[in-house]
């Protein structure tokens, strides 16, 4: 098991290095630069700015200097927000985005998981079609539609919940979490239904039923563990996706998270911020994929055995 | 998270609580780049910095004429080249230090310093030798025309008489900063220091920075050291980075904001129809227009440019696409710029447009080559481009393709003149025709059209500054602007308006041409609602 983890971590290094390199050169190819603005910039001013940000050096030298700083954990100063470092901006946005992502995942697993399991128990009946149709709607409904709809109903008409903010007013975290989690809940519902259906047809389930176990014990004790493997495998990438993809929800609800910085950085040609967030998020994605692989292995006896023998 | 307690803390909204406590909740458009007056640019930054700091003179929110700020008075010499500011004795920094003339000299050196990279350094270019110092041609700041005669007297020497110079004293790039504070956190020209953070910043305006939560809010409280604190009636202001105007409008409706930075176009009719409407719309010092590349055929022919311009029905465009929220424009300078009325040299005239196009060799659009109109990606720009494209098709029978470009790509295209026709907007930095007309000086950085005319340059650069009276000066500007519009390197479309939702409890916030906010005058009165006359 340790060897498996160590190997995967080693494999991650060239992946992340490739991400850095490609991003670094790609953002420079994009037309326009961080200091272009609607009003013409005086050449001397632009030159001074480029000196302050090391943009006057040859590109390759900038690249090696960036890698050097990165090795020390320094992501550099932001172009858009002078006086703030990229580290600081990520540190400010990450806790919020992570919290939002976690709640959204919770919403997704609770709603999606129970709907999927519920549907799988009576396949091809109303009990199956109804939640699956809802899931289909959930997948098709974009967050930029669902968010404002929820706000309209629960925020403006019923006045039950705040329409924006994060942690300012009690209850303001509810709507963003549901909005972000809804699409993932739908995926999880479909995944868990499929996983459960496959397991419920297996021989060992038939054996359990033949032993005369009550149906709930068959489901909870025997089927669930195997049936949810696809869901667990999905959770890692899903959480990484939630972190990287919360931009829309953060904008709708005025949430001070990382997603807004990430997208705006690209529009602003904030080179260091684009690089910093990309490197950071790709590292997270690699780690979460690894974590969900390990978890899936632990849940799946066949794989576990494989690791056990290679120890 | 799932602890769903009573909504909104007992049902009291920001606005209700704010009215009780004297706190204004202000939608500020976006997270500021920062708060250093010599580093940042932008409208949200302007609102924040002018609440925290005060210039030598301040624009009156009703008239936009300068009135005393840090300077209690000033004199301008006979020839208009020397301005002497008399600083008030009770002007104080938030740490209690007096605001002195020496600090202004130090601050202007910082604002102009070639290492500083201040995008607004040119605001001080009217000062003698300022441009030479800022561009590194002059090393000795002693030769720049700013001197502290004594701690309370600042003498400024200008290259040319500059009637709008006093107005510039309300632009944050000319503000004084507290030298000891800056030096305590880094070099004078350092852009990356922490001196503007809550516990570090020392400022001299009506409000002090109390809290700065990134992308969340900036909270300010009334300053106790401000010289005119007796007049300040708000106890504090909270600024919100309301990036998305749709969300901002929802926040307003839910009582989270007193004031919104904008209003989505499709919401305008809804708010206009309401009685006691919180919607406030006013003319704004900005023009929306199309740049024409005069170096590319067929647009190098002035008759073609005029035909294109005359074929555009601006009235219809303003009423339909823009929901009646803008004013049709026939000049680059917005009308009513401190009494200046621009000349009107052309009209919407389909007949004349067709005739001109035929004279240029494209009768009924025959033989018209491929021409493209570019705009930066935004729904409103697209709608206007589509409407104008259709007008050109209907009136002139010519095809013009339209294409959108992402913001920085578009900026690159415009600055390198890699376009046929390009959408453009210009917002004035100060209220004077010069701010619009000097864009089209030969080879000017913001010209981007290829228009060059020595007579025009002479009018703007030499004759207007030396005019003896405002009337004469405006007459010269009108002459220049008529020349510009005769050549039509730009096709004006409309004059901007500012659009805000302002809660009826907000008082003392008149609409004005610069959308200039002076929080010193603002108060909250939940009992007696604002009449709509007040904001007109």
Question: What's A138's domain CATH number?
Answer: 1.10.3720.10
Note whether A149 contacts B: Cβ–Cβ < 8 A: no
Per-residue confidence (pLDDT) for residue B529, from 0 to 100? 66
B524 phi/psi in degrees, rounded to 5: -115, 130
pLDDT digits (tens, 9 = 90+) for B338-394: 889 999 999 999 999 999 999 999 999 999 999 999 999 888 899 999 999 999 999
Quote the pLDDT of residue B323.
Answer: 87
| Residues pairing with B220 in the sheet | B209, B237
Q: From CA A175, how far away is CA B254, in angstroms rounded?
A: 15
Average pLDDT over residues B82-105: 97
A242 inside domain = yes
CA distance B455 to B424: 25
Helix (H) or strand (E) holding A131: helix A126-140
DSSP per-residue codes, B479-520 = HHHHHHHHH-SEEEEEEEEEEEEB-TTEES----TT----GG
Q: What is the pLDDT of residue B2?
A: 35
Q: Can you tell me the distance from the alpha carbon of A180 to that of A242, in angstroms, rounded to the nearest whole number?
A: 8
Q: How much is the pLDDT for B35?
A: 96
Using alpha carbons, select from B66, B477, B532 the residue that is nearest to residue B276: B532
Instruction: Give the 3-state secondary structure of residue A153.
Output: helix
Contacts of B349 (CB under 8 A, 6+ apart): B310
- The residue among A38, A43, A93 with the most chain B CBs within 10 A of its CB, best to mutate, is A38
8 Å CB contact of B5 and A170? yes
Residue A71 included in any domain: no
Partner-chain contact B119 A33, CB within 8 Å: no
Predicted pLDDT at A310 = 43
Chain B interface includes A207 (CB < 8 A)? no
Gap from A302 CA to chain B (nearest CA, Å):
38
Question: Is 60 exceeded by the pLDDT of residue B9?
Answer: no
Please provide the size of chain B in residues.
536
- Touching B: A residues 21-80, CB under 8 Å: 30-33, 35-42, 44-46, 48-49, 51-52, 77, 80
Residue A39 in domain: no
Using a CB-CB distance cutoff of 8 angstroms, which residues of chain B are in contact with residue A251? 243-244, 247
Measured between beta carbons, the chain A residues lying within 8 angstroms of B412 are: 31-32, 36
For residue B330 the two structure tokens come to 């026939």
Judge: B40–A31 Cβ closer than 8 Å, yes or no. Answer: no
Distance CA B425, CA B225 (A): 40
**DSSP assigned state of B132:** H
Hey, are the CB atoms on A252 and B191 less than 8 Å from each other? no
Q: Which residue of A has its CA nearest to B444?
A: A40
CB A248 within 8 A of CB A176: no
Residue B403 DSSP SS3: strand
Higher pLDDT, B62 or B259: B259
| Cα A302–Cα A305–Cα A311 angle in degrees, nearest 5 | 150
Q: How far apart are CA B154 and CA A109, in angstroms?
A: 68
CB-closest option in B7, B136, B409 to A171: B7
What SS3 class is residue A44? helix
Give the mean model confidence (pLDDT) for residues B51-77.
95
Rounded average pLDDT over B275-280: 91
Q: What is the pLDDT of residues B241-262, one digit of tens each?
A: 998 888 899 899 989 999 999 9
Q: Using omega within 30 degrees of 0 as the cis cutoff, is the peptide bond preceding B298 cis?
A: yes
The angle at the Cα of A222, spanning A220 to A228, to the nearest 5 degrees, equals 75
Closest to B86 in 3D by CA, of B101, B66, B104: B101
- Tell me how many residue pairs between chain A and chain B have CB atoms under 8 A apart: 164
Residues of chain A with pLDDT under 70: 1, 303-311
| Three-class secondary structure assignment of B340-372 | ECCCCCCCCCHHHHHHHHHHCCCHHHCCCCCEE
Average pLDDT over residues B32-53: 94
Say if A163 is an interface residue toward chain B (CB within 8 Å): yes
Task: Please check whether residue B244 is in contact with residue A252, taking contact to mean a CB–CB distance below 8 angstroms.
Answer: yes
User: How confident is the model at residue B146, as a pLDDT?
Assistant: 97
CB-count exposure of residue B353 (10 Å: 0-12, 13-18, 19+): buried
Rounded Cα distance between B210 and B444, Å, is 42
In angstroms, what CA-CA distances link A215 with A120, A121, A199, A208, B353?
13, 10, 14, 9, 83
H/E run at residue B220: strand B217-222
Q: How many other CB atoms are found less than 10 A from the CB of residue B40?
A: 25
Nearest CA in chain B to A257: B215
Q: How many CB atoms lie within 10 A of CB B275?
A: 4
Q: How far is A187 from chain B (nearest CA, A)?
A: 23
Can you tell me the mean pLDDT for B39-46?
92
Interchain proximity A49–B117, CB inside 8 Å = yes
Angle between helices B350-359 and B302-310 (to 10 degrees): 160
CA distance A268 to A261: 10
Number of domains in chain A: 1
B445 and A41 in contact by Cβ < 8 A? yes
- List of chain B residues whose C-beta atoms are within 8 Å of the C-beta of residue A169: 7-9
Q: How far apart are CA A31 and CA B456, in angstroms?
A: 33
Closest to A187 measured CA to CA, from A149, A230, A219, A150 = A230
Assigned domain for A185 exists: yes
| B137, closest residue in chain A (CA to CA) | A44
Torsion (CA) A203, A209, A212, A215 in degrees, nearest 10:
160
CB contact at 8 A, B38 and B53: no
Enumerate the residues of chain B whose CB falls inside 8 A of the CB of residue A168: 216
Residue A41 within any structural domain of the chain: no
Q: Confidence band (pLDDT; 50, 70, 90) for B121? A: very high
B3 pLDDT higher than 70: no
Write down the pLDDT at residue A255.
87
Place of tokens 């901006």: A89
Pick among A164, A166, A265 to test the B interface (most B CBs inside 10 A): A164
In terms of Cα–Cα distance, which of B241, B305, B231, B344 is closest to B488? B305
CB B145 within 8 A of CB B158: yes
How far apart are alpha carbons A261 and B243 in whole angstroms? 12
What are B212's strand-pairing partners? B218
Examine the predicted complex and report whether its ipTM is higher than 0.90: no
Chain B residues whose CB is inside 8 A of the A89 CB are 214
pLDDT of residue B212: 95
Most confident of A217-221, A245-249, B410-414, B524-528: B410-414
Whether the per-residue pLDDT at B315 is higher than 90: the answer is yes
Does residue A55 sit within a domain?
Answer: no
How many C-beta atoms lie closer than 10 Å to residue B142's C-beta?
12
**CA pair distance B469, A109, nearest whole angstrom:** 75
Torsion on CA atoms B502, B505, B511, B516, rounded to nearest 10: -80
Cβ atoms B352, B368 nearer than 8 A = no
- Residue B484, pLDDT > 90, answer yes
Average pLDDT in chain B: 92
Give domain status of residue A58, yes or no. Answer: no
Quick check: helix, strand or coil at residue B285?
A: strand
Please answer whether residues B124 and B130 qualify as being in contact, where contact means their C-beta atoms are separated by less than 8 angstroms. yes
Residue A156 in domain: yes
Q: At CA B407, angle to CA B401 and CA B412, rounded to 5?
A: 80
> Alpha carbon of B57 to those of B33, B82, B102, B180, B402: distances in Å?
25, 16, 17, 23, 45
Kindly state the DSSP code that residue B462 receives in the 8-state scheme: I
CA proximity to B311, closest of B372, B358, B381, B367: B358
What is the pTM assigned to this prediction?
0.88
Look up residue B531 and give its DSSP letter: P
Identify the burial level of A258 via C-beta atoms within 10 angstroms of its C-beta, where 0-12 means exposed, 13-18 middle and 19 or more buried: buried
Residue numbers of the domain that contains A264: 92-309
Residue B531's pLDDT band (cuts 50, 70, 90): low
B34 to A82: CB separation less than 8 angstroms, yes or no: yes
């Amino acid at each position: 098991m340790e060897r498996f983890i160590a190997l995967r971590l080693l494999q991650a290094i060239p992946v992340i290095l490739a991400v850095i390199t490609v991003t670094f050169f790609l953002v420079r190819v994009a037309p326009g630069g961080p200091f272009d603005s609607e009003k013409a910039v005086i050449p001397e001013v632009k030159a001074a700015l480029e000196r302050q940000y090391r943009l006057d050096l040859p590109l390759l030298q900038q690249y090696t200097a960036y890698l050097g700083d990165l090795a020390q954990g320094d992501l550099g100063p932001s172009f858009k927000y002078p006086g703030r470092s990229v580290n600081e901006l990520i540190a400010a946005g990450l806790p919020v985005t992570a919290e939002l992502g976690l709640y959204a995942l919770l919403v997704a697993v609770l709603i999606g998981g129970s709907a999927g399991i519920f549907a799988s128990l009576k396949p091809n009946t109303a009990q199956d079609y109804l939640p699956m149709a809802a899931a289909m709607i959930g997948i098709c409904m974009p967050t930029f539609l669902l968010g404002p709809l929820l706000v309209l109903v629960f925020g403006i008409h019923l006045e039950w919940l705040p329409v924006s903010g994060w942690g300012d007013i009690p209850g303001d975290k509810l709507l963003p979490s549901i909005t972000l989690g809804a699409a993932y809940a739908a995926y999880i519902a479909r995944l868990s239904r499929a996983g459960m259906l496959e397991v419920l047809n297996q021989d060992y389930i038939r054996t359990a039923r033949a032993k005369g176990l009550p149906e709930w014990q068959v489901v909870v004790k025997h089927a669930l563990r195997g049936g949810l493997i696809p869901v667990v495998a999905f959770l890692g990438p899903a959480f990484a996706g939630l972190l990287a993809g919360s931009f829309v929800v953060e904008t709708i609800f005025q949430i001070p998270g990382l997603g807004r910085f990430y997208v705006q950085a690209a529009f602003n040609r904030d080179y260091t911020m684009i690089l910093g967030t990309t490197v950071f998020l790709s590292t997270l994605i690699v780690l979460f994929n690894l974590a969900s692989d390990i978890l899936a292995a632990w849940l799946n006896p066949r794989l576990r055995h494989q690791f056990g023998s290679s120890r | 998270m799932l602890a769903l307690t009573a909504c909104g803390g007992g049902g009291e909204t920001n606005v209700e609580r704010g009215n009780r406590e004297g706190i204004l909740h202000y939608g500020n458009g976006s997270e500021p780049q920062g708060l250093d007056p010599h580093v940042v640019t932008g409208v949200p930054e302007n609102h924040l910095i002018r609440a925290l700091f005060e210039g030598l003179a301040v624009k009156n929110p009703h008239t936009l004429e300068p009135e005393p700020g840090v300077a209690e008075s000033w004199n301008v010499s006979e020839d208009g080249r020397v301005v002497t500011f008399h600083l008030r004795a009770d002007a104080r920094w938030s740490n209690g230090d007096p605001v002195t003339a020496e600090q202004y000299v130090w601050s202007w050196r910082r604002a102009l310093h070639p290492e500083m990279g201040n995008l607004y350094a040119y605001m001080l270019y009217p000062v003698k030798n300022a441009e030479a110092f800022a561009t590194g041609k002059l090393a000795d700041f002693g030769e720049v025309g700013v001197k502290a005669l004594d701690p309370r007297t600042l003498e400024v020497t200008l290259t040319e008489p500059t009637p709008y110079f006093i107005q510039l004293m309300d632009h944050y790039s000319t503000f004084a900063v507290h030298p000891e504070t800056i030096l305590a956190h880094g070099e004078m020209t350092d852009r990356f220091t922490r001196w503007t953070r809550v516990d570090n910043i020392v400022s001299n305006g009506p409000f002090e920075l109390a809290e700065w939560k990134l992308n969340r809010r900036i909270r300010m409280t009334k300053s106790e050291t401000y010289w005119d604190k007796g007049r300040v009636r708000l106890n504090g202001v909270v600024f919100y980075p309301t990036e998305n105007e749709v969300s901002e409008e929802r926040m307003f409706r839910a009582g989270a904001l007193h004031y919104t930075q904008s209003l989505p176009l499709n919401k305008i009719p809804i708010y206009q129809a309401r009685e006691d409407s919180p919607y406030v719309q006013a003319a704004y010092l900005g023009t929306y227009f199309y740049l024409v590349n005069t170096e590319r055929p067929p647009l190098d022919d002035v008759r073609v440019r005029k035909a294109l311009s005359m074929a555009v029905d601006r009235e219809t465009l303003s009423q339909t696409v823009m929901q009646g929220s803008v004013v049709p424009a026939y000049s680059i300078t917005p009308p009513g710029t401190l009494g200046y009325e621009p000349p009107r040299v052309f009209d919407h005239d389909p007949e004349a447009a067709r005739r001109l196009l035929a004279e240029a060799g494209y009768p009924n659009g025959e033989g018209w080559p491929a021409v493209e109109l570019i705009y930066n990606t935004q729904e409103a720009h697209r709608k206007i481009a589509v409407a104008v494209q259709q007008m050109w098709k209907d009136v002139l029978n010519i095809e013009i393709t339209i294409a959108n470009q992402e913001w920085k790509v578009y900026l690159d295209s415009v600055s390198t003149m890699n376009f046929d026709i390009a959408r453009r907007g210009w917002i004035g930095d100060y209220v004077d025709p010069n701010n619009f007309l000097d864009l089209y000086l030969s080879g000017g950085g913001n010209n981007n059209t290829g228009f060059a005319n020595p007579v025009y340059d002479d009018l703007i650069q030499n004759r207007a500054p030396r005019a003896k009276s405002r009337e004469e000066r405006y007459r010269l500007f009108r002459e220049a602007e008529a020349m510009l519009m005769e050549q039509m390197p730009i096709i004006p479309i409309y004059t901007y308006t500012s659009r805000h939702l302002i809660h009826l409890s907000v008082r003392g916030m008149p609409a004005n041409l610069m959308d200039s906010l002076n929080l010193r005058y603002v108060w909250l009165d939940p009992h007696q609602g604002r009449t709509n006359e007040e904001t007109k």
